[in-house]
Amino acid sequence: MNRDDVKLDESEILHDGFFRMEHFLFRHRLFGGGWSPQLSREILVRNPVAAVIPYDPVRDEIVLIEQFRGGVYAAGDKNSWSVEIVAGIIEPGETAADMAIREAKEESGCTMSEVEKILDFYPSPGGCSEVVALYWGRVSTEGVGGIHGVAEEGEDIRVFVESTDEAMRLISTGVINSSIGIIAVQWLALNRDELRRRYT
């Protein structure tokens, strides 16, 4: 099935601030034939996002960041700071790759010598329109670390470096618990041998 198998009856903007919330009334074609009843859904409508995992194939090290996340706080988690990879909203007129390069510099202080697309995915398709373009970027991790971010945007970001094996352990222990970070680190663990052969 595709978009033509959905009938939008009505949409309304409920809130338009830092995020936009819209209410939709729609029906969709059923796998067994016919149409669903009218469904009422509130959807968080977000612009596309790009994310990049800065990786040093010579040292087999990943650049990670940690910052306060309001969503984690609202969920009641005992730790409201999230260990993640670099990510941000793609600005008008900007490509996903350009955003990945810009955001890596702003959030981690890293200059990537190249970026390569991994995949696109929806982190929460049941209630959010956000689609993430995921990249890996080649960096040198020598001297990387410290506090970064754009102060005018309220960013206070701790930057640190871990081996790929340690990053995988951080997933297994729940330290890295955001979907973008988990997907990126697991992809890297599966593909690092090829990347290291390519660059070392």
pLDDT tens-digit series, residues 11-21: 999 999 989 99
pLDDT at 30: 98
Query: From residue 16, how far is each of 13, 25, 41, 44 by CA, in Å?
Result: 7, 19, 16, 10
- What residues are annotated to the active site? 153
> For the chain, which residues make up each domain, given as ranges?
3-45, 49-199
Sign of CA dihedral 91, 179, 68, 14: positive
pLDDT at 117: 98
% of the chain surpassing 90 pLDDT = 95
- Residue 168 pLDDT more than 90? yes
% of the chain surpassing 70 pLDDT = 100
- Residue 196 pLDDT more than 90? yes
pLDDT at 200: 85
State mean pLDDT over 82-87.
Answer: 97
State mean pLDDT over 134-162.
Answer: 94
pLDDT tens-digit series, residues 95-123: 999 999 999 999 999 999 999 999 999 99
Q: Token pair 């600005």 is at which residue? A: 91
pLDDT at 18: 87
State mean pLDDT over 67-94.
Answer: 95
Give the strand pairing for 49-56 and 132-138.
parallel
Q: What is the mean pLDDT of the chain?
A: 96
pLDDT tens-digit series, residues 48-78: 999 999 999 999 999 999 999 999 999 999 9
Tell the CATH superfamily of the 49-199 domain: Nucleoside Triphosphate Pyrophosphohydrolase (3.90.79.10)
- Residue 152 pLDDT more than 90? no
